[in-house]
């Protein structure tokens, strides 16, 4: 069954690839060229890549779990369960967490399958006046906006921005935070003091306003700048977490034992400290995705985020908030999409924490 699913995905990817190869060249040109706004086609390519990577990771993880199960079969009934299977069982028992995971999965699917799901082109403007600001109907599920674009299609395409921002900005924040926190926690002393004061200072900036400042002054609202800025402003929590984790692990006897064996810095960090910090990092990363998505949406709502005509949920709300008292379904539906997505990530994060954190499990 898994193979069948995988085959289907590869097929879909192949189909995408047909339209994708020419966009690759286009994308590269955009990436390294001037700050021309990116197009939907770039996103098409990126989202597909991300989706495939995610699926691949899920498959590897899943087969890993199956192996664990096989290994477990040959063990005595009395022995304790494998860590992984306990985690899995705990997670699956938490219905809300499973719901969260399904929401995220659905989001990924939607983002990947946009061209099939969206009934209309999200960008192309209709030229006939009577097609503007239509009420919901069978033809246009959520009506049309003032440029006669199908709102439902725009919301579907908007998922790509949220997915991209959530994934990349979080990735940047977690990488940066882990690196900084690891250095502070491992070396301690004055290195730690200096780094942590800097972290305190970064934490004092109201994130949104600082990002607004940079975007406004640099006159660049490319999605890359936004993702980078959100990432650069969100790593401090992870850094504190990793530092605390390292400090605590350094007190543990197994760390002392490794030192006594003559282990060097690299081995101490990558074999002993980091693997044991991974659980809280994963949990906090998942919970952080929601925040980054919210931040992007807020920027777009202020008109300072992703620029139209590219649809993002935030800028759909920005675009249509003037119609709140008349065509209320437009802003409210786009906003609802944000809420559902962020709820999904937070449910998933909460579920992971409950399943992975033995302190809460007892």
What is the Cα Rg of the chain in Å? 23
Give the nearer residue to another protein in terms of CB position, either 49 or 68.
68
Least gap, CB of 242 to another protein (angstroms)? 16
Peptide bond into 187 cis (omega under 30): no
CB of 50 to another protein, least distance (A): 22
Distance in Å, CB of 156 to another protein, minimum:
18
CA 314 from centroid of its chain's CA atoms: 16
Q: Phi and psi (nearest 5°) for 150?
A: -70, 115
Smallest separation, CB 349 to another protein (Å): 10
Please tell me the distance from the alpha carbon of residue 283 to that of residue 349, in angstroms, as a whole number. 6
Rounded Cα distance between 248 and 199, Å, is 19
CB of 125 to another protein, least distance (A): 24
CB of 21 or CB of 328, closer to another protein: 328
CA distance 145 to 151: 6
**What's the closest the beta carbon of residue 119 comes to another protein, in angstroms?**
25
Residue 150: helix, strand or coil by DSSP? strand
Smallest distance from another protein to CB 129, Å: 25
Alpha carbon of residue 186 to chain centroid: 28
Q: To 10 degrees, the CA torsion angle through 220, 223, 229, 230? A: 140
> Closer CB to another protein, residue 115 or residue 136?
136
Judged by beta carbon, residue 18 or residue 206, the one nearer another protein is 206
What six digits make up the tokens of 300?
A: 């777009």
Residue closer to another protein, measured from CB, 46 or 104: 104
Instruction: Select 49 or 323, whichever has its Cβ closest to another protein.
Output: 323
Residue 328 and residue 322 in contact, taking contact as beta carbons nearer than 8 Å: no
Q: Are 228 and 172 in contact (CB under 8 A)?
A: yes
Looking at the Cβ atoms of 24 and 176, the one nearer to another protein is 176
Nearer to another protein, 69 or 197 (CB): 197
d(CA 95, CA 101) in angstroms, rounded, equals 10
Q: How far apart (Å, rounded) are the C-alpha atoms in residues 197 and 185?
A: 13
Minimum separation from the CB atom of position 22 to another protein (A): 33
Instruction: Give the whole-angstrom CA distance, residue 98 versus residue 107.
Output: 14
Rounded Cα gap, residues 292 and 308, in angstroms: 20
| Binding stretches for another protein (CB under 8 A) | 78-80, 82-83, 96, 197-198, 200-201, 203-210, 212-219, 252-254, 256-264, 267, 271-272, 275-276, 290, 294, 297-298, 301-304, 314, 317, 321, 324-325, 328, 331-332, 335-336, 338-339, 342-343, 345-347, 350
């Amino acid at each position: 069954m898994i193979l069948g699913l995988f085959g289907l995905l590869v097929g879909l990817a192949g189909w995408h690839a047909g339209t994708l190869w020419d966009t690759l060249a286009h994308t590269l040109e955009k990436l390294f060229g001037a700050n021309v706004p990116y197009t939907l086609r770039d996103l098409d390519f990126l989202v597909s890549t991300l989706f495939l990577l995610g699926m691949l990771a899920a498959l590897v993880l899943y087969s890993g779990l199956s192996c664990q199960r096989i290994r477990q079969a040959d063990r005595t009934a009395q022995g304790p369960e494998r860590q992984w299977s306990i985690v899995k069982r705990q997670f699956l028992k938490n219905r809300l967490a499973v719901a969260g995971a399904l929401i995220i999965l659905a989001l990924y699917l939607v983002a990947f399958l946009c061209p099939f799901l969206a009934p209309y082109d999200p960008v192309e403007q209709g030229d006939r006046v009577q097609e503007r600001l239509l009420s919901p109907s069978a033809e246009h599920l959520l009506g049309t906006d003032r440029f006669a674009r199908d709102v439902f299609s725009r919301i579907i395409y908007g998922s790509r921005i949220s997915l991209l921002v959530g994934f990349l900005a979080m990735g940047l924040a977690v990488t940066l935070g882990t690196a900084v926190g690891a250095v502070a926690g491992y070396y301690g002393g004055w290195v730690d003091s200096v780094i942590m004061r800097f972290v305190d200072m970064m934490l004092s900036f109201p994130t949104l306003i600082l990002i607004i400042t940079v975007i406004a002054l640099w006159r660049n609202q490319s999605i890359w700048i936004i993702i980078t800025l959100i990432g650069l402003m969100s790593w401090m929590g992870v850094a504190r977490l990793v530092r605390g984790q390292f400090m605590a692990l350094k007190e543990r006897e197994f760390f002392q034992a490794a030192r006594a064996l003559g282990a060097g810095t690299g081995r101490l960090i990558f074999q002993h400290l980091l693997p044991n910090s991974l659980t809280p990092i994963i949990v906090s990363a998942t919970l952080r995705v929601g925040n980054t998505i919210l931040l992007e949406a807020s920027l777009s709502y202020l008109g300072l985020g992703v620029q139209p005509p590219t649809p993002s949920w935030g800028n759909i709300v920005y675009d249509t908030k003037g119609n709140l008292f008349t065509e209320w379904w437009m802003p409210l539906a786009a906003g609802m999409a944000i809420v559902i997505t962020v709820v999904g990530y937070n449910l998933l994060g909460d579920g992971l924490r409950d399943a992975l954190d033995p302190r809460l499990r007892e």
